[in-house]
Amino acid sequence: MLAYHWTMIFHLLGFGLLCSSVIGSWILGGRYRRAEGWKTKRTILGLLRPIGLLSPVASGVMLLSGIGNLVAKGYEMPLPSWLHVKLAVFVIVLAAGIYSGICGKRRGAIIAHLADGDAPANAETAVVRLDRRLQSILMLQVIALLVIIVLSVVKP
Ligand code: HEM
């Protein structure tokens, strides 16, 4: 097998991991929104955490194997413009992922207080705001991933 085959296998494995993380978050996010009671919501968020943690691992695999693809396929500077756009969109996915991690942590802490019955007065409003923000970030990531796939396959 050529070096390019190996880097591409890891690239596609990373892609599978990333899709698992995004789709898993989407499905469990739906369960979380429909769940009744803060204790149930806290349990579901506990399940969401390891799925969310897959995402930075997958992004690292995508970046390293993507650089591997560049080297193994003999790309030279300047890189083609579709790759520039792909990298820019990838950076947006990364930044959105980091922000989503921060918001998710904040939401988890507030929901833990709500479940224990010792949350401050405005806690529920804060949860609604964070829920909406996290949902928008996930939607942005799904769209960005679709753009990356189209760019990678069509290479316009
Ligand atoms: C979420 C992130 C990414 C996704 C979903 C993704 C997806 C893909 C897919 C599906 C292919 C196969 C295209 C084909 O063979 O027709 C591919 C190829 C490739 N990717 Fe990525 N990729 C991502 C990130 C990156 C990054 C960060 C880099 C660079 C650092 C990169 C560099 C490449 C290169 C050089 C190829 C080979 C292009 C060619 O066939 O000439 N990718 N990517």
Q: What is the pLDDT of residues 3-38, one digit of tens each?
A: 999 999 999 999 999 999 999 999 999 999 999 999
Distance from the CA of 75 to the center of ligand 1, in angstroms?
12
Domain limits at 150?
3-154
Q: How far are the Cα atoms of 39, 69, 79, 146 from residue 42, in angstroms, in the given order?
A: 5, 41, 46, 31
Residue to probe by mutation, ligand 1, list 7, 12, 63, 69, most atoms within 8 Å of CB:
69
Please give the pLDDT value at position 31.
Answer: 95
Please give the pLDDT value at position 119.
Answer: 87
More confident of the two residues 154 and 77: 154
> Is the per-residue pLDDT at 2 higher than 90?
no
User: What is the per-residue pLDDT across 47-97, written as a single tens digit (0 to 9) for each?
Assistant: 999 999 999 999 999 999 999 999 999 999 899 999 999 999 999 999 999
Question: Number of structural domains, the chain?
Answer: 1
Q: Which band of pLDDT confidence, cut at 50, 70 and 90, is reported for residue 40?
A: very high
Which residue, by CA, sits nearest to atom 23 of ligand 1?
Answer: 62
Q: Are 64 and 10 in contact (CB under 8 A)?
A: yes
User: What is the per-residue pLDDT across 92-118, written as a single tens digit (0 to 9) for each?
Assistant: 999 999 999 999 999 999 999 999 999
The CB-based long-range contact list for 20-25 (8 Å cut-off, 24+ gap) reads 20/51, 20/54, 20/58, 21/51, 21/52, 21/54, 21/55, 21/58, 22/55, 22/138, 22/141, 22/142, 22/145, 24/48, 24/51, 24/54, 25/51, 25/52, 25/55, 25/138
Q: Which band of pLDDT confidence, cut at 50, 70 and 90, is reported for residue 151?
A: very high
